Amino acid sequence: MKSAATGATVKSTTPSTTKGARVTSMPAETATMVPKHEPNAQPSSPDDRNANVPLGAALRSRYDSVMARVAAAAARSGRRASDIAVVAVTKHASMEQVRDLLSFGHLDLGENRVQQLIQRAALVDEQMLRRRERPNAVLPNGNGVDANGSGVRWHLIGTLQRNKVKKAIEISRLVHSVDSLRLAEEIQECCQKRTQPVDVLVEVNVSGERSKHGVAPAAARHVVEMIDTMIHLRARGLMCMAPENKDGSVDPVEARRTFVRCAELFEEIKASRIGNTDAGLRFDILSMGMSGDFETAIECGANMVRIGSAIFGDYTPPEETNED
């Protein structure tokens, strides 16, 4: 898989089965890989609201910490940091944080909801346009802008309702959450006038939780095979989520069990050569792991992780006010 930011080839490895196996990339772009650390990164406060620490410095510190953890987890699974694609989930991030993250060179962002995806993408596009018009500009955090940089790659990682498919595919580079054949057919129907197929991941409900979306593990291969017959879709891999406790925490034992099963399923489907083309195998993305469990997911074989709060900080809902 090629990095959208660097063009590097990503190697997908499940330690027990396919160590060192080469995989191909999403056409021309995928997700941002782990960058080199900057030696002069400033220390951060645990809380961005600490007036003594600039917002950009706190974000930079958390970002570097996450990338170091990704690199360490990749090493434990016999891979390099550059083999792991990182999608920064901006669901609760401020636009200032998003701008700072882009200034670090991270261009792959994920959103849960289509409406917020549309709004964020419009704001970011406007910012990128201003950067190109002001090649010598300097951002508030002191970093220079990249006038020749490529655009942001947006990932839709949340549930996609069929009535919002048309808007979602206009912006999303990769849809992580195709959770039924019916949704895949709706995307196919909305893509009749597109020249470029839509890349999607099949979401698998490995844990069997009623609260989780996704196809049953036993049906995953069939859904991938059906998508492979659709002209306007490309099944690029699988996505899953670890089960959560009632308080929202993740049991590391259950998380590992879920990730191992999904990785096995991914390797089984990949071995069947579904999606094979003259250019190579395009079923090559295993998206598992979020802020609380991405290291475990990488150790189990994930080559794409979705990280929000570990980069942007814990979300604090705004206080409600009593107004008549």
- 214 contacts: CB under 8 Å, gap ≥ 6: 179, 203, 204, 205, 206, 239, 240, 241
E strand or H helix at 63: helix 55-76
- Neighbour tally for 302: CB within 10 Å: 33
pLDDT at 8: 41
Q: Judge whether 302 lies within some domain.
A: yes
pLDDT at 46: 42
Q: Judge whether 89 lies within some domain.
A: yes
pLDDT at 12: 43
Q: Judge whether 166 lies within some domain.
A: yes
What does pTM read for this prediction? 0.78
Q: Judge whether 100 lies within some domain.
A: yes
Phi-psi category of residue 309: left, alpha or beta, with phi > 0 → left and psi -120 to 50 → alpha: alpha
Give me the number of domains the chain comprises: 1
Q: Judge whether 20 lies within some domain.
A: no
Q: Which domain holds residue 129?
A: 32-142+152-312
Whether residue 259 contacts residue 297, with contact meaning beta carbons closer than 8 Å, is answered with yes
Q: Judge whether 319 lies within some domain.
A: no
C-alpha to C-alpha distance for 270 and 281, rounded to whole angstroms: 8
E strands of 24-158, at which residues?
Answer: 32-33, 85-89, 108-111, 153-156
Phi-psi category of residue 280: left, alpha or beta, with phi > 0 → left and psi -120 to 50 → alpha: left
| CA neighbor of 238 nearest in space, from 208, 273, 263 | 263
Q: Judge whether 17 lies within some domain.
A: no
Instruction: For residue 312, give the 3-state DSSP assignment.
Output: helix
Q: Judge whether 3 lies within some domain.
A: no
C-alpha to C-alpha distance for 274 and 266, rounded to whole angstroms: 11
Domain containing 289 — which CATH number? 3.20.20.10
Residue with the two structure tokens 């597109």 = 194
C-alpha atoms less than 13 angstroms from C-alpha of 223 in its C-beta half-sphere: 27
Q: What is the pLDDT of residues 144-184, one digit of tens each?
A: 444 334 478 999 999 999 899 999 999 999 999 999 999 99
Give buried/exposed letters for 66-105 (b at 16+ CB in 10 A, else e): bbebbbebbeebebebbbbbbbbbbbebeeebbbbbbbbe
State how far the alpha carbon of 269 is from the alpha carbons of 221, 242, 262, in Å. 6, 20, 11
- H-state helical runs in 108-194: 114-133, 165-171, 181-190
Per-residue pLDDT of the chain (324 residues; tens, 9 = 90+): 444 443 444 444 444 444 433 333 444 444 555 544 443 343 333 444 444 556 688 999 999 999 999 999 999 999 999 999 999 999 999 999 999 999 999 999 999 999 999 999 999 888 777 766 665 554 444 444 443 344 789 999 999 998 999 999 999 999 999 999 999 999 999 988 888 889 999 999 998 888 788 999 999 999 999 999 999 999 999 999 998 887 778 889 999 999 999 999 999 999 988 766 554 568 999 999 999 999 999 999 999 999 999 999 986 665 555 554
